[in-house]
């Protein structure tokens, strides 16, 4: 037995080989407040007045959450899944600590979520697979309302073993960042309409988002359930340098919140909430000092069995070095 295998056995690390489909973590309950919703929007750098305190009166006086807040009110909590199965997550190891970072995530929505609701989150291992020498684990998390109806669910894929070696860290001076669109808010007159939804049509608005160390730390601190994680590849530069990205990066869910904000400039919020879905794949790390510009185009459209008009679109996030940071596909309801 090698020394690394002996260490894993002694500490019972939750390595790829120890992962089993169906392993589940504890359920969580979160009562969502307007303050939670406003803080999530602030971390998403979203100045949309609907998410600010005090909120304009809507939906019977209730404040609506951004769609991607599903990742916060029903968080993944892979550390707790490992612990519930008698294992130690690699991020919590005292002898062989390493990160199992975000690879991609797909979220599905069934209705809007509002302040005052109590939401139950369930989480389990959904699948594990190998691709091009790397090893991945996908978790399924579902959020339920007080009546037991699902409001959102997502499949979150982590990299458990990476075959390509460590990424190089670019110089901060590389590329010329675009100016971040800090004040961009939705304008209903600019939303894409059903009549405009032809394949190849660009989405009406783009969005440039700048990342900072301060915002990465603020996002990491917003935790509504589970134990805090004060040292990870987002907050601990020394630890991050030992992992695959070679330095600190933002979190995949943070980038998804920026894609959410981008979609909110091109469609009303119910476009995602009424049976929409969003899948985002991380391609290149999004680091403090980067500015990523999001743009999109229509890739398909058509009705469904319920008479809804569905539009598919692809969203690209590109940084100042012209690197593809993330690639997303969304299905939204229009009209």
Distances (CA, A) of 20 to 16, 85, 259: 9, 10, 31
What is the value of pTM for the model shown? 0.89
> Which ranges of the chain would DSSP assign to H, the alpha helix?
3-11, 34-43, 70-73, 78-84, 213-221, 237-241, 252-266, 270-273
Measured CA to CA, the distance from residue 115 to residue 121 in angstroms comes to 16
Q: Which of 19-33, 178-192, 239-253 shows the lowest mean pLDDT across its residues?
A: 239-253
- The answer to whether 137 touches 19, Cβ cutoff 8 Å, is yes
Residue in 173, 172, 136, 131 with CA at minimum distance from that of residue 155: 136
Q: Which residue has the higher pLDDT, 172 or 329?
A: 329
pLDDT per position as a tens digit, 185-224:
999 999 999 999 999 999 999 999 999 888 888 888 889 9
314: pLDDT strictly greater than 70: yes
Which domains does the chain show, CATH number per domain?
A: 3-333 (3.10.129.10)
Q: What's the angle, vertex CA 199, arms to CA 190 and CA 68, rounded to 5?
A: 55
pLDDT by residue (tens digit) across 138-147? 999 999 999 9
Nearest CA-CA partner of 301 in 192, 228, 188: 192
Q: How many residues does the chain have?
A: 335
Mean pLDDT, the chain, whole residue set: 88
Per DSSP, helices labelled H in 22-174 are: 34-43, 70-73, 78-84
User: 3-state DSSP call for residue 147?
Assistant: coil
């Amino acid at each position: 037995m090698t020394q690394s295998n002996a260490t894993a056995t002694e500490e019972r690390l939750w390595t790829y080989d120890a992962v089993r489909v169906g392993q589940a973590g504890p359920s969580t309950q979160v009562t969502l407040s307007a303050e939670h919703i406003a803080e999530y929007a602030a971390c998403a750098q979203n100045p949309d007045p609907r998410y600010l305190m005090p909120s304009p009166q809507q939906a019977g006086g209730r404040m609506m959450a951004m769609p991607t807040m599903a990742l916060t009110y029903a968080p993944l909590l892979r550390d707790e899944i490992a612990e519930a199965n008698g294992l130690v997550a690699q991020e919590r190891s005292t002898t062989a600590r390493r990160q199992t970072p975000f690879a991609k995530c797909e979220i599905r929505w069934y209705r809007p979520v509002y302040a005052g609701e109590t939401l139950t989150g369930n989480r389990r291992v959904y699948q594990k697979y190998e691709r091009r020498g790397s090893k991945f684990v996908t978790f399924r998390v579902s959020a339920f309302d007080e009546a037991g109806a699902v409001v959102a669910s997502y499949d979150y894929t982590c990299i458990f073993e990476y075959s390509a070696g460590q990424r190089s860290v670019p110089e901060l001076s590389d590329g010329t960042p675009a100016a971040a669109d800090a004040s961009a808010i939705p304008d209903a007159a600019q939303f894409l309409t059903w009549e405009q939804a032809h394949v190849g049509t660009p989405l009406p608005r783009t969005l440039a988002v700048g990342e900072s160390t301060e915002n990465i730390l603020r996002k990491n601190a917003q935790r509504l359930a589970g134990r805090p994680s004060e040292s990870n590849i987002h907050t601990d530069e020394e630890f991050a340098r030992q992992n695959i990205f070679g330095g600190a990066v933002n979190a995949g869910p943070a980038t998804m919140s920026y894609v959410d904000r981008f979609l909110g400039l091109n469609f009303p919020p119910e476009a995602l909430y009424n049976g929409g879905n969003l899948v985002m794949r991380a391609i290149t790390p999004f680091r403090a000092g980067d500015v990523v510009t999001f743009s999109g185009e229509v890739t398909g459209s058509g009705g469904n069995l319920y008479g809804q008009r569905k539009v598919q679109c692809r969203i690209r996030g590109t940084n100042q070095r012209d690197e593809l940071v993330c690639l997303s596909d969304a299905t939204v309801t229009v009209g």
